[in-house]
Amino acid sequence: MLPFKNITNVAKPGLSRVAKPHTSQGNRDHAEVFPTKVPVSNKENRSQPASAVPPYISAKSWAVASGTTGGLLFGRNYSIRREVASLTKIMTCYTVLELAKRWNMDMETTLASVSRQAAFINGTRADFRFGDKLSIWDLLHAMMLPSGNDAALCFAEFFGQLLFRAANPAFDKYAQMATKFPCKYFINEMNVNAKMLGLEHTTFANPHGLANTNNKSTAEDLGKLCAAAMKVPKFRQVISCREYDCQGFNIKGQPKKFRWTNTQKLLWEGFNGVKTGVTPHAGPCLASSYEADGVHLIIILLSSKNMEARWSETHALKNWAKKRLCDVSPLS
């Protein structure tokens, strides 16, 4: 135990798929059942039952997965690898919680400091300044609610150093080696977790999701990840939080208050998670969890037409999927 208290395949373009939850590693097409063609004309639309035709979705890739099993239920272009922007932070959060559990870390009393690199990172931020200190528990909210890239980098640096020390106990006197490139140890742990969860088409290259051609996943893989993460009670607690207030410390050790609001607007509309994301390369992305009336759906949108389309299209897929599942078979 570490001394924490001393450390201040690709779907065809014209097809929408309906698949049973699966765990096989073989050809993805073999798992398909109830294929339904997306209509290209009004005449073709009239030839199918209304419930079999998915709504128009602008996202280049989308998937609806079982929140219970993570298995794919419906989707289009669900196995195409794309940059996923801040949906990356779902794995960052999951990895932090797994490491904290492994090391019996008290997340409410263990503090991490904000480095210069984290304080000046681009993109969405939790508005930290160099030298700020917060608990790991508060940092999780800073990362998942306002989508703080600064918080995500804090995690990679902090846990990267701990992973280095845990893997190299005989090199304590060279522990500073890890401070030069600590993130690579944490990112490696993210990729190890991806393999363990069966995310066959996912690779992580950073903890925040800023543009990187090696930081990619698929709508199907993200459905699996969200389903697995939602089984972790503390993950659920963080990502379902609409607003969060806490107190940390500035570089002088003086108390400093923070307040964040969740960017996942669907929390106010019957959903219970999980994460928004957008970069110029990834486009607007959204992962959502809906759980009601014995149904738990994970809905993934990658590269939507615009920011606002994510909300309405997620609602449309939720409503359609519930109706489709009732027509075909109950969701187990």
**What confidence category does residue 176 fall into, taking pLDDT thresholds of 50, 70 and 90?**
low
pLDDT of residue 18: 41
Size of the chain, expressed as the number of residues it contains? 332
Is residue 95 predicted with pLDDT exceeding 70? yes
- Strand, coil or helix: 73: strand
Q: 192: left (phi > 0), else alpha (psi -120 to 50), else beta?
A: alpha
At the fourth CATH level, which superfamily is domain 79-328? DD-peptidase/beta-lactamase superfamily (3.40.710.10)
Is residue 244 predicted with pLDDT exceeding 80? yes
**What confidence category does residue 50 fall into, taking pLDDT thresholds of 50, 70 and 90?**
low
pLDDT of residue 48: 54
Q: Are 77 and 13 in contact (CB under 8 A)?
A: yes
pLDDT of residue 49: 58
Q: What is the mean pLDDT of residues 143-154?
A: 98
Residue 247 CB partners (closer than 8 Å, separation 6+): 255, 256, 257, 258
pLDDT of residue 167: 83
The DSSP element (H or E) to which 106 belongs, if any, is none
Task: Locate the domains of the chain by residue range.
Answer: 79-328
Q: What is the mean pLDDT of residues 296-320?
A: 97
Q: What is the mean pLDDT of residues 113-128?
A: 96
